[in-house]
Amino acid sequence: MTKENGKKLVIVESPAKAKTINKILGKDYKVTASVGHIIDLPKTRLGVDIDNGFEPEYTVIEGKNDVIRKLKSEAKGVSEILVATDPDREGEAIAYFIADSVRKVNSNIFRIEFNEITRPAVLKALDHPRSIDQHRVEAQQARRVMDRIVGYQVSPVLWQTIYKGLSAGRVQSVALRLICEREAEIDAFKPVEYWSITAELQTASQENFLARLVQIGKEKLDPNKFHIGSEGEAKRHYEQLQQETYRVTKIKRDKVTKRPGPPFITSTLQQDASRRFSMSTSRVMSTAQKLYEGIQLGDKGEVGLITYMRTDSTRISPEALDAVRTYIAESYGSEYLPPKPNIYKTKKSAQDAHEAIRPTYLNSEYEPKKLKKYLTPDQFKIYDLIWKRFVASQLKPAIADRLSIEITAGEYRFRASGEVITFRGYLLVYQPEAEEKKSDDEDDNLPENLPKQIAEGEILKLLELLMKQHFTKPPARYSESSLVKMMDNLGIGRPSTYAQIIATLFQRKYIEKLERALAPTELGKTVNALLVKHFPNIFNVQFTAEMENGLDKIEAHESSYRQAMDEFYIPFKETLDKVSGKIKEIKLSLQKDTGEACDVCGKPMVIKWGRNGQFLACSGFPECKNTRPLETPPPPEETDEKCPTCGSPMVIKRGRYGEFMACSRYPECKTTKPLSTGVSCPEDNCNGTLVQKQSRRGKIFFGCDQYPKCQFAMWNKPRATTCPKCNYSIMEEKTTRKDGFYLQCPKCKHREMVEELTG
């Protein structure tokens, strides 16, 4: 069939991606975008026929009829249609609905996929068209339907017992449980006192070094087991040690090989970028998305700089391996190039058709420092990190000389150890970021502080004994980075969903940030306690991980959509039926007695939940409607920002006109500033950030912090989401009674319906 001189239509999700691909393919192809999803479950009802095999009731997303009409119109005049949506389950589902929408006007439809938007990758995909993978589509459908059922059938329990507008999610609520359980561990933690003793010693060659006491008799020191538990006990050992002779009993020298880590997958990119740059996981992913879809590089036009960023595979294509090995030999020398490529294992559950996250072009022309002028600060940070991690993954290991010295003093044993790098290897390019801070129990020696001339049997001179008090520390709160790592290890959710899960917990005000760590709010604790108590078999790690495994089985042709849904829904429905009969009982259990009497009718006053938090209410409601606010205001919320006046942390406070930022040293420092949204100003050539402001009449709006130099302002809250239709750098949050919550582009007015009750 020949239409329009044999032209072919390529359909992708985003206009940015379409623009980059169009530059590659040229005049024989038309490239257009669906602007994201076009079909989904209805927003205002469940949309799943549970009794009919969990049949979804799909509808056209509001505002997408025009897109579908355009796709049909363009499909009429071409020889074939190539659907090139993202290479994952969600992309496969979008491809399915696109194909279904245009099939009546042109049935010559094929699916193509690529992991990077480069000429070789796109042309190779054109040579290998296939049909749409129905198993992959069903796996995505099962995820979507499970999430919809949980959201629409459990969330009303929260509405009826706490207040309307809250949400529960199949994965979201398990992530909240992890955060709350860690907080409970911290609250229950009782610190244990212990003392360390460090000896400053001198060798016969007059070299001084420190050694830490590690053993007394046959007992090794451990703060959680055997330890010096008081100052008095420490002093007794101190006095005894003053009398002992210090002899070197063992010297161990060995070479240590430090191997590079694998190239990034989604979860490890989120973890590393979050640790290094204090970036939220959602910000990391939105930045990576832009790097994947294409960046304007001067005369080169739109260029996709990284491979697809939603992947759990560490696989690297042979072509990429050849390119990076050539680059390493040319840039660092053959001494840094291993004899054969470094190959990394991918975990069993990974979708190994994907590649790891890597740069698309491995030559000096595309080095981060040479592209910096084309990139935003965030884009440069992420691109530079991906580049260095990938290059490092194919370098030789680093080599270190490690020295360990054991010293005996009577029944006491001391140890000093350290290491020095002798061959930098991959460390020449990439320095791993430490996951945890150094503990008090680690050796104090730097490698250069260890003696160079020392022998076994040598008698050392004691210069000084140092006693130090310590207390065991509670487990650390999760950061976004460590929460992602835990969820990945436990098999909860997919790496591609982690950023949205964390963002939803913040949006619902279930969690907050305290010194870069995630802590549950009182509301989050209340919601979690209710869900864990009444849905113990649903919102737990094992059940959620089993459901993820079930989705993998559908894609691998080892299970079916109906089987996976039955395994999920049967235990879920049993629990839901039990809870539905106890709504009044649950609601009463959430009310806290205050010991106060109502000043209107004399009945007890209780603490209840409302949309604006907790408040005091008469237990005689509805006969007595007496209420009043709780007298204790919520504590200021900490931020990562520093006071521009004195350098102290800034906190978020609430005043009569809403939230604002203030110095934590108030009243010594009275600096205040508008509340930052963290969203960059969309105006060209402006480096400002949008902040919350207030009009003369007290109405909240959002404006650039570079005012009056930049006068950009908007009424609705901005979000750092690129408009998929016109590529405007922000969208605004809107809510109407008819449509609920959605995002709208301030420039072209395009709407994106956002599923609130998700994951």
Question: Catalytic residue numbers?
Answer: 308
Q: Are strands 219-220 and 208-216 parallel, antiparallel or unpaired?
A: antiparallel
- Alpha carbons within 13 A on the beta-carbon side of 46: 14
What is the Cα–Cα distance from 156 to 160, expressed in whole angstroms? 6
Residues β-bridged to residue 80: 8
Distance CA 506, CA 444 (A): 39
Residue 413 has φ and ψ, to the nearest 5°, of: -125, 130
Decide if 416 contacts 407 (C-beta within 8 A): yes
Pinpoint the alpha helices (H) of 441-560: 480-490, 495-507, 522-534, 541-555
CB 726 within 8 A of CB 16: no
Instruction: Please return the burial class of 417, using the count of CB atoms within 10 Å of its CB with bins 0-12, 13-18 and 19+.
Output: middle
- Rounded to whole angstroms, how far apart are CA atoms 40 and 61? 6
Residue type, 416: A
Q: How far apart are CA 182 and CA 487, in angstroms?
A: 13
Backbone angles phi, psi at 195, to 5 degrees: -120, 140
| Helix, strand, or coil (residue 718) | strand
Q: Is 520 helix (H, G, I), strand (E, B) or coil?
A: strand
In order, the DSSP letters of 730-748 are -EEEEEETTTEEEEE-TTT
User: How many Å apart are CA 256 and CA 399, to the nearest integer?
Assistant: 6
Tell me the DSSP string of 581-605.
TTHHHHHHHT-EEEEEEPTTT-PEE
As a whole number of angstroms, the longest Cα–Cα distance in the chain is: 99
Tokens of 95: 């491809």
Assess contact for 712 and 696: CB atoms under 8 A.
no
Instruction: Give bridge partners of residue 253 from the DSSP assignment.
Output: 403
User: Backbone phi, then psi, for 157, in 5-degree steps?
Assistant: -65, -40
Q: Rounded to whole angstroms, how far apart are CA atoms 719 and 741?
A: 13
Q: Give the phi and the psi of residue 180 in degrees, each rounded to 5.
A: -70, -40
CB-CB neighbours of 528 under 10 Å: 24
Percent helix, percent strand, percent coil in the chain, to nearest 5:
35, 25, 40
Taking each continuous run of H as one helix and of E as one strand, the counts in the chain are 18, 35
What residues pair up with 257 in beta bridges, in sequence order? 399
Lookup result for tokens 């680690």: 442
CA distances in angstroms from 657 to 116, 180, 696, 698, 707, listed in the order given: 48, 31, 11, 7, 20
For residue 691, give the amino acid letter: V
In terms of Cα–Cα distance, which of 398, 401, 397, 396 is closest to 255? Answer: 401
Tokens 């938007």, residue located: 117
> What one-character DSSP code corresponds to residue 300?
G
Do 697 and 703 form a contact (C-beta atoms < 8 A)? no
Cα 477 from chain centre: 15
Q: Are 11 and 98 in contact (CB under 8 A)?
A: yes
